[in-house]
Amino acid sequence: LREAPVTAGKGQAESSLRPKSLSPASGAGQTPRSGWWWFLSGEGLLLLAGAGSSSLPPRASHPPQPPRESPSPSPGLTSETGQCPCLFKVPQCPPVLPDAALLEGSLPLLPRTEASESLLVRARCYGLLGQKKTAVFDFNSVLRARPGNVQALCGRALVYLALDQLQDAVDDVISALRLDPGTVVPEIRSLRPEARVPLTQGLHSRCRALLSQTLDMGVSLGDEDTQGLLAVGQALTRIDATQPSWHLLLVDTLLVLGSYEEASAPLQEALCSTRPPEAARARRGLLQLKKGAVPAAVQDLQCLAEADAQDLRFLLQLLAASERHSVAQAAAQEASTLLDTGHPRRALGYCSLAVLAGGGRTCHLRLRAACLAELREVDRALQDLDHVIREGAGDGDLARRAEDFSSRGRLLLSLGDEEGAKGAFAQALELSPALEQSRLWAQPGQAPRASMFLRLGQCCLEEQRYGEAPTGPQSGLLVNPHHGRLRRLKARTQRETASGCRLL
């Protein structure tokens, strides 16, 4: 089942694998023990009879019968002839390959160890014949007798992979890696890419999920999980040392375990490329923070804030509350400096880092909303402002709340949502009339705002929304107390609201 080059033809393979006692050149007086000898070569499974055996060994009265199935290789994992799975780089099975059932009768007569080895051979034979479920039956039999049999775990995992049972395959590979990674890694490396890639990605995803779950629940890793995570991380780096994600998995495992010094070595492997990924730089920042270098740590951590916020949250969970506070404070300060000097694009990463490290505080959300507004990312800016407004509903700082509504109104106006903008400006005027008047006169100006509120009041009357109708003229007169049309609209609104009917 392993990757093996073809080194000889069929006749040569049989000759080289035949015991000397069965070779024509051997002496006639040399008599091997009777029975059936099984050999697995790069060309397939060969059955050789011991001397004195002129026929198949007798079957036991009730031998263990594995379930029968017709060969049915998985789509996409079969050879061109459709006879055996194409998960492994092995030559086509030769015509002399016997049916695995030839071994069944002799199994009850063998000692336990030899029976397990024979079951392994038979399971591999079933796998080559495409009878994958029957192969699993034999692998299960071996594992019931010898739970730590690494070859059986690997074999069953590869058959599960051919059956599209990826999670079961991952379970078996992790169990095997805990026992003997030196045997398992060559097995995985010998697989074809269409089998190796999903298996390694499945191992990576399983370990990532376990690490995230551990941090989310606030619990420590058990000994078995720790052993499995370390074994998988080290194995993946040996399977493909050019993949940064495999090195970062080992780094994160060591970080969760608190082994910061040990995490430096695999991290350097991920950073060795000319353009190291943001994830690797962020982990370098975390290690710098553990050494007390806050500015350098913030510079590395912020590069991941916009690229992968979920991964950054994972790293921030590894920090103490005081460390997160220091990160948020330093990031917000750097963002403010960059905004003041006209670099909103560079400031955005620091703004997002401050939001994540600070737990979504309103001051950090306001800062990011201002940055996003300068970058014309209006939808994201509105999301931050809406969150700020909801959080500050009971805040006694009316001037700050009025400023939030005013900012929201300007953003809505830039999207062409004039009605939404009118409502936001009206709420700002209600909370802080004097302050909001000065803001509205400055931007976008007294006349445009007065005209906007005039249209709002007229629209409310036309649609008979008498409860909202007074808002337009009242807010407009706060902006421009001498606006004649607004004063007439206010009087008309009062009459229609009092009578409950519309005057034509």
Q: What is the pLDDT of residues 194-226, one digit of tens each?
A: 999 999 999 999 999 999 999 999 888 999 999
pLDDT at 113: 56
CATH topology of domain 397-504: 1.25.40
> Taking a C-beta distance cutoff of 8 angstroms, is the pair 380, 361 a contact?
no
Query: What pTM was estimated for this model as a whole?
Result: 0.70
Do 348 and 371 contact (CB within 8 A), yes or no?
A: yes
pLDDT at 91 over 50: no
Residue 244, CB-side half-sphere exposure with 13 Å CA sphere: 15
- Phi/psi for 471 (5° steps) reads -60, -40
Q: DSSP string of 378-392? A: HHHHHHHHHHHHHHT
- Which of left, alpha, beta for 192 (phi over 0: left; psi -120 to 50: alpha)? beta
- Distance in angstroms (rounded) separating the CA atoms of residues 163 and 76: 11
Strands 36-41 and 44-49: antiparallel
pLDDT digits (tens, 9 = 90+) for 32-78: 333 333 333 333 333 333 333 333 344 434 445 555 555 554 443 43
Domain locations in the chain as residue ranges: 165-266, 277-391, 397-504
CATH architecture for residues 277-391: Alpha Horseshoe (1.25)
Q: d(Cα 389, Cα 366) in Å, to the nearest integer?
A: 10
444-500 pLDDT, tens digit per residue, is 555 666 666 666 666 666 666 666 666 666 666 566 665 666 677 677 777 776 665
Where do runs of H (alpha helix) occur along 129-222?
A: 132-145, 150-162, 166-179, 181-189, 193-217
For 410-446, the pLDDT digits (tens) are 899 888 887 888 788 778 877 876 565 555 545 555 5
Percentage of the chain lying above the pLDDT 90 cut: 46
The closest alpha carbon to 490, from 462, 454, 449, 464, belongs to 454
How many angstroms separate the CA atoms of 355 and 384, rounded?
Answer: 10
Query: With the CA atoms of 329, 388, 341 and 312 taken in that order, what torsion angle do they form, in degrees rounded to the nearest 10?
Result: 50
d(CA 431, CA 425): 10
HSE, side-chain direction, 13 A CA sphere, residue 342:
0
Strand, coil or helix: 94: coil
Q: Report the alpha-carbon distance of residue 340 to residue 352 in Å, rounded.
A: 17
Identical topology for domains 277-391 and 397-504 = yes
Tokens coding 75: 């789509």
